[in-house]
Chains A and B, each alone.
Chain A
């Protein structure tokens, strides 16, 4: 018996004093500084040159925002390596280790860091900050609606808050699982040492960070008063805030696209030996299909917002009807993005729910291949349903039936996901730890969201419900009650791996019940408003709807309190939680087979994959393991009948 000698940890490498080059001097502060500096220069220059022209303010805001985004990323070091390569230099191994965070302790979380686990953690914090902002705005909306003619907010502020609440939440929910967990967990799950493009991975994070100030700047530029859908021509006439809003989205799309490509390439090319596509954990499939769908959907958002900016800042007329444009063009491109986008949000958390259900039912995922087919079918159908958002616009009434068909068809693969979920629970050994509670809450909410969706898919019923609070309640049940609760389950599930500590589940149960009840009260109140016929996005309403609104507001306060308890649990767990074992849930996927905290490049010894990870109860050894020490290297394969020296020739001749 040879005793296994652990290879030295990469993060213990002593780097030379010049390792990392310019990266040594760059962090979030240089990013902020250079971003503000470049933004200011751009403002000065554009203000001096174009302010007096027809669309001056719009051009000035656009230039300033572009300069801020570029400057911030230059200051962060996003472009260091490409600039090096352009200049004919290369990054040394030491430089790469420095960029991955070696020797920088916790300051690497505020730097351009290529380690996928650092990027995942950065995303997790960003998502929580965004939910904090979006949730605060939601509370302001609900506070305004306690009484029919509240003077809490003026209508301009109210409209701006409604818009930014929507957009902050859309950004946060798109990245809430694909950011933290597709980055931190997914590469370990498939046995990879990092993402395929670690620099692009870090870039995707810092680019979305640079988008957030643009979005918040809208409040100081007059406010976007057109709702998160920013329908033209209202948005073409909106204050200069709209330019910052469009720049936010353009920047965000760059980030999502880069991240989506990275996820797909990682799964296609970086899997460990033996990790066939059919052995991938189901969560990986969810992130890949969601990422691929994002690659289809998000560029349309970039296109429509670019056209919006040129309409506003240069006088083109894509969306201005009186000079040949069309508001329906805007609405079509917007929803060609908008509907696939909700499944970009939904698929990763839904896949995480299946993963978690399997672990805590101690059973394989029911219908693994059927579920994957369901994901793919949802993605394929979701690109053909966009016009159900336009049933009442008057555009192409004769397409009502086809779009009703595709919209209702999508309930078939969604039903399959439900079958797989309850099939996994069926006769399981249900282990009711905190993540599992959120899985049950997901099932409860997502059914309500799904059933209320079928009324809206029906054109005659949609003629009543469109633009009504019923729609608001419906999509909050799917996106908050479904997707975000699924993501919450994922947070509870992977928290021990990410933070190295356990959560306090007693506090978690309190948060769970507050959130669970809060959601039902809030959105049943809104269904009620919707049935009564209260329009969305109104700051003042008919006193007839008052009771329903007060119910909804009461629920919303409870919901917010629940999230605050949840936040307390996370922060407390991160700082003082019990040290987590490597595999607290006794799960079988690879991320639980590596030590906690996860070492740089994840695997000291390459994992061995001989089956999928769902071998619960099958009486066989786990098919996805990390051996304690590396096996002896296999002898090199040599074609039969040739001497070792002939190998190159033989290869060259074939």
Chain B
């Protein structure tokens, strides 16, 4: 090996040597980092778009947005760990004829104050961002609407019962009018169940002797599934039913077909006062 080649190799192996950026270790690690970051971000966009069910409420939209946002924040950090690990495995791996002989000791490095401080600072900033995001989204979801449609949800082994106060309607399927705030008052008559209408982006346990409350506003028409999310015994897997987000007129009709008086149904569906129906979404 000529002197120049040796110098080239030494320079190529120093992070800030004179070689072109992408042939230096720092440059190569940067490329691996970039690739992993891009993959991470792509997964962050692909997974919620294509794998999550179609969300039917703003809370469901928050789930979607949170996944994307957190992935974009986390991908560069995870990618950095991967980049350095992969680079160390390929570039600093020591191959010798006799695998029982250890490679010569590396240059000792017992720590690096500035790197540790930067690492701590960046992770602290990221945590603060995550936290603010979480609190902002969570508190925006806590608004209660005085005119919300009340639905009493009762879990028992192994079925759900929904009742609509004021209408006398009690059913095994959960119909909801679109774009109308709804408040679920959830309880159980035996053991703990989990009330989980997944596409509405909300979930709360059904506890015996306690009423727990969640709120949402369905904003997309269509059927969905309510599944029990707490193991509740023998037929836990079968403790599900379909729900349906419908227009307020359909909801009115549905309530009446389930035994509500026309007046009560119109009050519950919000179709009683003239004109309010046209304000509802399509």
Q: Which residue of B59, B82, B233 contacts A159 across the interface (Cβ within 8 Å)?
A: B233
Stretch at the interface among B16-24, B106-114, B253-261, B271-279: B106-114
In the complex, the answer to whether A464 meets B234 with C-beta atoms within 8 Å is: no
Collect the chain A residues with CB atoms within 8 Å of residue B119's CB. 415-416, 419
Contact call A234/B59, Cβ cutoff below 8 A:
no
Interface size class of A (residues with CB under 8 A): 35 or more
**Contact assessment for A430 and B88 in the assembled complex, using a CB-CB cutoff below 8 Å:** yes
- Residues in chain A near residue B93, CB distance under 8 A: 430, 432
Which among A61-69, A106-114, A193-201, A455-463 touches the partner chain? A455-463
Inter-chain contacts of B237 with A (CB < 8 A): 155, 535, 538-541
CB-based contact A535/B196 at 8 Å: yes
Nearest CB to that of A237 among chain B residues? B191
- Across the interface, which residues of A come within 8 angstroms of B235, CB to CB? 155
B123 interface hit (Cβ, 8 Å): yes
A40 within 8 A of B: no
Q: Using Cβ atoms and an 8 Å threshold, which residues of chain A touch B3?
A: none
Determine which of B66, B84, B192 lies in contact with A458 in the assembled complex, contact meaning CB atoms within 8 Å: B66
Question: Within B122-146, which residues are at the interface with A (CB < 8 Å)?
Answer: 123-124, 127, 130-131, 133-135, 137-138, 141-142
* Residue B47 lies at the interface, judged by CB distance under 8 Å to chain A: yes
Q: Are B205 and A159 in contact (CB under 8 A)?
A: no
| Chain B 173-224 interface residues, beta-carbon cutoff 8 Å to A | 186, 190-192, 194, 196, 198-199, 201-205, 207-210, 212-213
Is there a chain B Cβ closer than 8 Å to A532's Cβ? yes
Whole-angstrom distance from the CB of B80 to the nearest CB of chain A? 8
Identify which of A183-191, A282-290, A404-412, A597-605 touches chain B. A404-412
- The size class of the interface chain B forms with chain A is 35 or more
Give the distance to chain B from A158, nearest Cβ to Cβ, in Å. 8
Binds B, one of A125-133, A362-370, A625-633: A362-370
Which stretch from A204-212, A321-329, A550-558 is at the chain B interface?
A321-329
How many Å from the CB of B256 to the closest CB on chain A? Answer: 31
Q: Assess whether B89 is in contact with A394, with CB atoms less than 8 Å apart.
A: no
Q: A233-B191, A370-B116, A451-B74 are in contact. Are A394 and B230 (CB under 8 A)?
A: no
Q: Is the CB of A362 within 8 A of B204?
A: no
Q: Does A296 contact B (CB under 8 A)?
A: no
A253 to B131, CA, bound (A): 35
Contact across chains for A362 and B106 when beta carbons are under 8 A apart: yes
Stretch at the interface among A303-311, A478-486, A610-618: A610-618
B68-85 vs A, CB cutoff 8 Å, 1 = contact: the mask equals: 001100100110011011
Pick the residue among B71, B106, B207 that contacts A321 (CB under 8 A): B207
A618 surroundings in chain B (CB, below 8 A) = 108
The reply to whether A394 and B208 contact each other, CB–CB distance below 8 Å, is no
Whether the pair A234, B191 counts as a contact (CB closer than 8 A) is yes
CA distance A389 to B118 in the complex (A): 31
Q: Give Cα A51 to B148, complex, Å.
A: 53
A423 touches B115 (CB 8 A): yes
Q: State the CA gap A322–B208 with chains docked (Å).
A: 8
B105 touches A394 (CB 8 A): no
457-477 of chain A: CB within 8 A of chain B: 457-461, 463-468
Q: Which residues of B contact A400 (CB under 8 A)?
A: 138
Q: Can you list, as one digit per residue, whether each of A523-546 has a CB less than 8 Å from chain B (1) or not (0)?
A: 000011001110111111110000
Complex: A405 Cα to B138 Cα, angstroms: 13
Segment of B4-12, B48-56, B164-172 engaged in the interface with chain A:
B48-56
Q: Across the interface, which residues of B come within 8 angstroms of A367, CB to CB?
A: 110-112, 116
Bound Cα distance A451, B234 (Å):
34
> A460 contacts B59, CB within 8 Å?
yes
Residue from A226, A408, A444, A536 within 8 A of B127 (CB atoms): A408
Determine whether the beta carbon of A467 is less than 8 Å from that of B229. yes
Q: Is the CB–CB distance between A327 and B208 below 8 Å?
A: yes
**Judging by beta carbons under 8 Å apart, are B194 and A464 in contact?**
no
- Distance in angstroms from B194 CB to nearest chain A CB is 5
Write out the residue numbers on chain A whose beta carbons fall within 8 Å of the beta carbon of B192.
231-234, 327, 393
CB distance from A548 to the nearest CB of B (A): 9
Scan residues 389-445 of chain A and give those whose CB is less than 8 A from a CB of chain B.
392-394, 397, 400-401, 404-405, 408-409, 411-412, 415-416, 418-419, 422-423, 425-433, 440, 443-444
A533 lies within 8 A of B53 (CB): yes
The complex places the Cα of A461 from the Cα of B100 at a distance, in Å, of: 50
Within 8 A of B (CB), among A341-389: 361-370
Give chain B residues whose Cβ lies under 8 Å from the Cβ of A234.
Answer: 191-192, 231-233
Give the residues in chain B near A443, CB-CB below 8 Å: 81-82, 85
* A560-584 interface (Cβ within 8 A of B): 584
Residues of chain A with a CB closer than 8 A to B109's CB: 363-364, 366, 423, 426-427
Q: Are B110 and A364 in contact (CB under 8 A)?
A: yes
**A422-B84, A585-B102 are known contacts. Are A535 and B227 too (CB-CB below 8 A)?**
yes
- Could you tell me if B104 and A429 are in contact, using CB atoms closer than 8 angstroms? yes
A225 within 8 A of B: yes
What is the minimal beta-carbon distance from A161 to any residue of chain B, in angstroms? 12
Query: Contact between A425 and B138 (Cβ–Cβ < 8 Å)?
Result: no
A608–B103 Cα distance when bound, in Å, is 26
CA distance A431 to B205 in the complex (A): 51
- Interface pair A430/B92, CB less than 8 Å apart: yes
**For the complex, is A10 an interface residue (Cβ under 8 Å from B)?**
no
Which A206-230 residues have C-beta < 8 A from chain B? 225-227
Given contacts A227-B231, A370-B111, contact A408 B130 (CB under 8 A): yes
B42 at the interface (CB under 8 A from A): no
Q: Is A84 an interface residue (CB 8 A)?
A: no
Which residues in B have their C-beta under 8 angstroms from that of A19? none
Decide if B123 touches A415 in the complex (CB within 8 Å): yes
Q: Roughly how many angstroms separate A525 CA and B104 CA in the complex, as a whole number?
A: 42
Q: Is A447 an interface residue (CB 8 A)?
A: yes
Closest to B104 in A: A429
Could you tell me if A393 and B204 are in contact, using CB atoms closer than 8 angstroms?
yes
Question: Is B120 an interface residue, CB under 8 A from the partner?
Answer: yes
Tell me if B203 and A411 are in contact (CB < 8 A).
no
The verdict on A328 contacting B110 (CB below 8 Å), with A416-B120, A428-B88, A444-B82 known, is: no
Q: CB < 8 Å: which of B84, B141, B236 contacts A460?
A: B141
A156 to B66, CA, bound (A): 37
Q: Which residues of the partner chain B approach A615 to less than 8 Å between Cβ atoms?
A: 108
Residue of A at shortest CB range from B191? A234
Cβ-based interface call for A273 (8 A): no
A-B residue pairs, 3 tightest by C-beta: A394-B212, A467-B229, A617-B105
Where the two chains meet, the residues of B that have a C-beta atom closer than 8 Å to any C-beta of A are 47-48, 51-53, 59-60, 62-63, 66-67, 70-71, 74, 77-78, 81-82, 84-85, 88-89, 92-94, 99-100, 102-112, 115-116, 119-120, 123-124, 127, 130-131, 133-135, 137-138, 141-142, 186, 190-192, 194, 196, 198-199, 201-205, 207-210, 212-213, 225, 227-238
**Contacts A366-B110, A394-B204 supplied; 18 other A-B pairs, CB < 8 Å:** A226-B231, A231-B192, A327-B207, A363-B109, A366-B111, A394-B205, A394-B213, A427-B106, A429-B92, A431-B103, A433-B99, A444-B85, A468-B198, A532-B52, A535-B227, A539-B236, A540-B237, A540-B238
A-B contact pairs, 9 of them (CB 8 A): A231-B231, A363-B107, A412-B127, A460-B138, A461-B66, A461-B70, A466-B203, A535-B227, A541-B237
